[in-house]
Amino acid sequence: MGVSDMNSSNADVVLDAEEPNLSVNYELLQSIYRIPSIEKAWLLPSKRGHSFEAMVLLNEVNLSANSKRRYLSFINIKKEPVKDSSFSWSAFPVELSGVSLIVPSTSGEKLLVIKNGDSSGKNGSATKLEIWNSAQLMKEILVPASIHGSIYTDGWFEGVSWSHDESYVAYVAEESTTGKPMFGKTNISCSPQASDNDPYSWKGQGDWHEDWGESYVGKRKPCLYVADLKNDSVQKVAGIPNDLSVGQVIWAPCDSQPLLIFVGWLSASENFKTERKLGIKYCFNRPCAIYAIQAFQEERMFDLLNGPWKLTSSISSAFLPRISPDGKFLLFLSSQEAVNTGVHNGTNSLQIMEWHGLETLKSISEVKEVVSAVQPKGGFPGIYMQSMIASPWLSDNQTILLSSAWHSSQVILAVNIERGTAIKVTPDDDAASWSILSLQDDYILAAVSSFGKPHSLKLGVPRSSLTQMSWDWFDVGNPYLQFPDKVGLDFFLCILMAYITVIGYYIEQLCSFSSLQVDSLLSSMSYEIMKITVPTEEGLEQHYESIFVTKGKESMREKGPLVVVVHGGPHSVYTTSFSKAYAFLVGLGLNLLLVNYRGSLGFGEETLQSLPGKVGNQDVADVLRALDLAIEKGLANTDKVAVLGGSHGGFLSAHLIGQAPDRFVTAAIINPVCNMSSMVGTSDIPDWCYVETYGPSCFNMYTDAPPPQVLERFFQASPISHISKVKVPTLFLLGAQDRRVPISNGLQYVHALRARGLKVKLIIFPEDAHPIDRPQSEFECWLNVGTWLKHYLQI
* Active-site residue set: 647, 738, 770
Distance CA 295, CA 599 (A): 42
Q: How many residues does the chain have?
A: 795
Strands (E), 597-679: 641-646, 666-670
Beta-strand relationship, 760-765 and 730-735? parallel
Beta-bridge partner residues of 49:
none
Q: Give, for 755, the enclosing helix (H) or strand (E).
A: helix 743-755
Distance CA 743, CA 739 (A): 8
Given a contact cutoff of 8 angstroms between Cβ atoms, the answer to whether 626 and 530 are in contact is yes
Q: Give, for 68, the enclosing helix (H) or strand (E).
A: strand 67-78
Given a contact cutoff of 8 angstroms between Cβ atoms, the answer to whether 233 and 168 are in contact is no
Would you tell me how many other CB atoms lie within 10 Å of the CB of residue 281?
A: 20
* Helix ranges, 236-370 (H): 336-341, 358-362
Beta-strand relationship, 562-566 and 591-596? parallel
Q: 3-state DSSP call for residue 472?
A: strand
Strands (E), 485-590: 525-535, 541-551, 562-566
Strands (E), 397-470: 399-406, 409-416, 421-424, 433-440, 443-450, 453-462
Distance CA 175, CA 709 (A): 42
Distance CA 608, CA 598 (A): 6
Q: Which residues contact 749 (CB under 8 A, 6 or more apart)?
A: 654, 672, 674, 675, 719, 720, 723, 732
The C-alpha angle 133, 320, 153, rounded to 5 degrees, equals 55
Distance CA 522, CA 289 (A): 44
* Helix ranges, 531-617 (H): 580-587, 605-608
The answer, yes or no, to whether the previous bond of 570 is cis (omega within 30 of 0) is yes
Distance CA 507, CA 725 (A): 52
Distance CA 439, CA 443 (A): 6
Residue 536 DSSP one-character state: -
Q: Is 589 left (phi over 0), alpha (psi -120 to 50) or beta?
A: left
Q: 3-state DSSP call for residue 225?
A: strand
669 phi and psi, to 5 degrees? -130, 130
Q: 3-state DSSP call for residue 149?
A: strand
Edge-first strand listing for the sheet containing 126-132:
101-104, 111-115, 126-132, 137-144
Given a contact cutoff of 8 angstroms between Cβ atoms, the answer to whether 38 and 44 are in contact is no
Residue 274 DSSP one-character state: B
Q: Give, for 512, the enclosing helix (H) or strand (E).
A: helix 500-516
